[in-house]
Chains A and B, each alone.
Chain A
Amino acid sequence: MSVTTPVPAPVLRAAGDSALIVELGDGIAPDLNAAVHRLDRRIADAQLPGIVETVPTYRSILVQFDPAVTAAEPLGQALLGLATGLTQAVAEPQLRWIVPVCFGGAHGEDLDEVARRSGLGTEEVVRLHCTADYRVYMLGFSPGFAYLGGLPEVLHQPRRENPRMVTPAGSVMQGGAQAAISPIAMPSGWHLLGRTPARTFDLKREPPFLLAPGDRIRFTAISAAEYDRLEGMSGYLPDCETVTPSVTLMQGAAA
Chain B
Amino acid sequence: MTTHLRVAAAGPSSTIQDRGRVGYQRYGVSVAGAADPLLHAVANALVGNRPGEGAVEFTLAGDSVTVEGGPVRIAVAADAALTVDGDPVPGWTSLRLTDGQTLRIGNLRSGMRGYWAVEGGFALQPVLGSVATHIRSRMGGLDGGVLKAGDRLPLALDQAADRGERCLDPSLLPARGGRLRVMLGPQQDYFTPAGIEAFLEEDYALSHEADRMGCRLDGPVIEHSRGFNITSDGIPLGAVQVPGTGRPIVLLADRQTTGGYPKIACVVGPDVAALAQMRPGERLRFAAVDAAEAGRIQARHRELVDGLPALLQSAGGFALYDSGRLLGFNLIGGAVTGWD
Contact = CB atoms under 8 A, between A and B. Distances in A.
B233 A145 contact: no
Given A14-B185, A28-B231, A53 B236 contact: no
B291 A72 contact: yes
Contacts of A15: 185-186, 234, 236, 239, 263, 266
Contacts of A64: 25, 236
Interface in A17-63: 17-19, 21, 23, 26-28, 52-62
Nearest to A60: B233
Most interface-central of A26, A55, A142 (chain B CB within 10 A): A55
Contacts of A213: 26
Chain A interface extent, by class: 35 or more
A112 B53 CA distance: 53
Interface in B136-173: 136-137, 139
Contacts of B268: 16-17
A59 B269 contact: no
Contacts of B24: 53, 143
Nearest to B271: A17
Contact of A21 (B186, B256, B291): B186
Contacts of B27: 139, 143-144, 201, 209, 212
Interface in A113-150: 138-145
A203 interface: yes
A140 B28 contact: yes
B156 to A, nearest CB: 22
A121 to B, nearest CB: 33
A27 B297 contact: no
Nearest to A55: B234
A73 B183 CA distance: 14
Contacts of B183: 14, 16-17
A143 B28 contact: yes
B335 interface: no
Interface string B205-228: 000000000000000000000000
A75 to B, nearest CB: 11
A44 to B, nearest CB: 11
A53 B24 CA distance: 8
Contacts of A208: 128
Interface string B285-312: 0000001001101110010000000000
A144 B137 CA distance: 11
A71 interface: yes
Contacts of B237: 16, 18-19
A235 interface: no
B193 interface: no
Contacts of B257: 55, 139-141
A225 interface: no
B258 A14 contact: no
A19 B263 CA distance: 13
Given A67-B298, A142-B137, A213-B26, A57 B232 contact: yes
A58 B22 contact: no
Nearest to A13: B186
Interface in B95-118: none
A54 B26 CA distance: 7
Most interface-central of A28, A67, A140, A141 (chain B CB within 10 A): A140
B39 interface: no
A68 interface: yes
Interface in B219-273: 231-239, 256-258, 263, 266-269
A140 B236 contact: no
Interface in A179-220: 201, 203, 208-209, 212-213
Contact of B28 (A67, A73, A141): A141
A59 B186 contact: no
A18 B234 contact: no
A21 B295 contact: no
B184 interface: yes
Given A17-B269, A17-B295, A21-B186, A26 B236 contact: no
Interface in B18-61: 22-29
Contacts of B29: 143
Nearest to B302: A68
Given A71-B291, A140-B256, A212-B26, 18 more contacts: A14-B183, A15-B239, A16-B266, A16-B269, A17-B295, A19-B236, A19-B266, A26-B231, A28-B231, A55-B26, A57-B234, A58-B233, A67-B295, A68-B299, A141-B28, A143-B27, A143-B28, A201-B27
- Closest 5 pairs (CB-CB, A-B): A62-B234, A16-B266, A140-B258, A55-B234, A13-B186
16 contacts: A13-B187, A16-B294, A17-B298, A18-B237, A21-B186, A54-B26, A57-B232, A60-B234, A67-B299, A72-B291, A72-B295, A139-B26, A139-B28, A141-B28, A142-B28, A145-B28
Interface of B: 22-29, 127-128, 136-137, 139, 183-187, 231-239, 256-258, 263, 266-269, 291, 294-295, 297-299, 302
